[in-house]
Amino acid sequence: MLPELSKEKGGDISFNRPEEAFKAIHNYFLTGKLHMPLNVCPGQFAEELEFWGVGSELLEPCCLYRFLAFHQQEETTKRFRKTIPSIHNQKVTSGGYSCRQRLWCIIDNRESSVPAKIYLGFILTFVLLSLASLSLSTVQSLQRKLTICEARDLLFYDNDYDDEVKEYFENNVDCSKDAEIAMMSFLGDYAEYSDEDFEEKMEGFRNSSGVTGIEDDYYSTLRLKRKLKHVKLPYKHARLAVFDWIDLTVLAVFTVDLILRLSTCPSIVMYYKSLLNIIDSIVLVCGIVGFVLEKILINFTYGTGDLDILIYFQQLRVFRLLRIFQHVAAIKVLAFCFKENFKEILVLLLFLFVGVNFFANILYFVETDTMKSIPTAWWWGLITMTTVGYGDIYPTSALGRIIGACCAISGVIVLALVIPIFVNNFLALYELAHLLGKEKTGKSKPITLQVMPTKQQSKGI
């Protein structure tokens, strides 16, 4: 319903409304078609429609999509704003916060002060150090061979040997030598002897002595060397001591960090509602338990066993980077976009699943020599549709290559249709988060424009 109108002198009716939006609504009453001008904000146009009592569903299809897309983006923006803490990227002074709250803001990277940046750099250094230690310790050139004593401990841990052999390893070995060199040094020329060679040597010695089973030093040594020849030492590699010291230092730093976080966070329950915080605590506990067990259990130190799960959990150290940067704008936007576009991601996975099964099953019956099973064809279909193309499996017949080409083109089309939805939301929200960050830190200064009113504005339309 139109608002109350007032007559002025001369019989003119004055409408003090925005010009462009009013013209569009005026044209609607003249022509019966409602269009939204390109130079008018959809939000302002919605207010104008509400003012004149005109429903947005009356917009023509060419303008309705832009109008609805704007409102959908506005709803997404409102939901995103709610995920941004009010103290994020704000400078916190001791005047308005207690020491505990200020320490929490510094530790959890919730402010942009100098102490927060220093602490962030300190923790980031140790995160990268722990990842480097874990990775480089697996390089064989950065490992050492087991010493003869370490090999002995591992050998006798779950094996039973002759008492004479045990006595030799316990009393007659130099623990500074590695296992292989020590064994070769003791066996000497007898290292290449077989059982028959040893038997022939011992038999000749007995015959020359004239006494069967003579037990002099030479014969005893020969017999011991024969026994040691059958001992299979574990020629494995161990971590360098420097990596152990790095891990110990990292564990100490992250233990102190966790204690500070738990003692200063507003709520421990809310703290552990974050999956990243749970993973970080699990990795820390597994690291401490694993480090202790390495010093207690010989088999865990140099071998593999039932406690390998502790080693596997150490691979989750990389998630510490996400935990540290969880309040950075790009990370928050990325996490929000995954939640917001979850349906689109499911659609993408559904299309990929259908496409992989369809093309893989067809190719399995066409390429009987190359595709040994349907799961193998699934692997080929996934790698082809995602345009990775490892080249380990590929069709060789003409029909198989045609199917492969269709599979690759279908994958490109599916990815091109779905991924831009996710990317557009990410770019829009990232720009918003960037502007909000500038606004909160006071880096963006408002611009004041002085506009002189025109004659039309002074008189009204």
What CATH number has the domain bearing residue 77?
3.30.710.10
The verdict on residue 383 lying in a domain is: yes
What is the rounded distance in angstroms from the CA atom of residue 179 to the CA atom of residue 145? 8
With beta carbons less than 8 A apart as the criterion, state whether 336 and 83 touch: yes
Is residue 253 domain-shared with residue 358, that is, in the same domain?
no
Where is 301: in which H helix or E strand? helix 298-302
Residue after which a domain boundary falls, among 219, 235, 251: 235
Is residue 110 domain-shared with residue 258, that is, in the same domain?
yes
Number of domains in the chain: 4
Residue after which a domain boundary falls, among 200, 218, 235: 235
Is residue 177 domain-shared with residue 222, that is, in the same domain?
yes
Is residue 20 domain-shared with residue 128, that is, in the same domain?
no
Q: What is the CATH number of the domain that holds 301?
A: 1.20.120.350
Mean pLDDT by 10 residues, the chain (461 residues): 51 73 86 87 86 86 85 80 56 57 84 84 90 85 77 67 66 68 68 68 62 55 69 73 88 92 89 87 86 68 59 76 76 81 87 92 88 91 90 89 93 87 80 68 50 46 42
Residue-range definition of the domain harbouring residue 58: 14-82
Is residue 230 domain-shared with residue 244, that is, in the same domain?
no
Of 336, 321, 215, which Cα lies nearest the Cα of 276? 321
Residue after which a domain boundary falls, among 235, 267, 286: 235
Is residue 408 domain-shared with residue 320, that is, in the same domain?
no
The verdict on residue 312 lying in a domain is: yes
What is the rounded distance in angstroms from the CA atom of residue 282 to the CA atom of residue 405? 45
Q: What pLDDT is recorded for position 91? A: 44
Q: What pLDDT is recorded for position 213? A: 46
Q: What pLDDT is recorded for position 10? A: 53
Is residue 213 domain-shared with residue 251, that is, in the same domain?
no
Is residue 182 domain-shared with residue 104, that is, in the same domain?
no
Q: What pLDDT is recorded for position 336? A: 82
The verdict on residue 70 lying in a domain is: yes
Q: What pLDDT is recorded for position 93? A: 43
What is the rounded distance in angstroms from the CA atom of residue 145 to the CA atom of residue 245? 18
Q: What pLDDT is recorded for position 256? A: 93
Q: What is the pTM of this model?
A: 0.62
Q: What pLDDT is recorded for position 62? A: 86
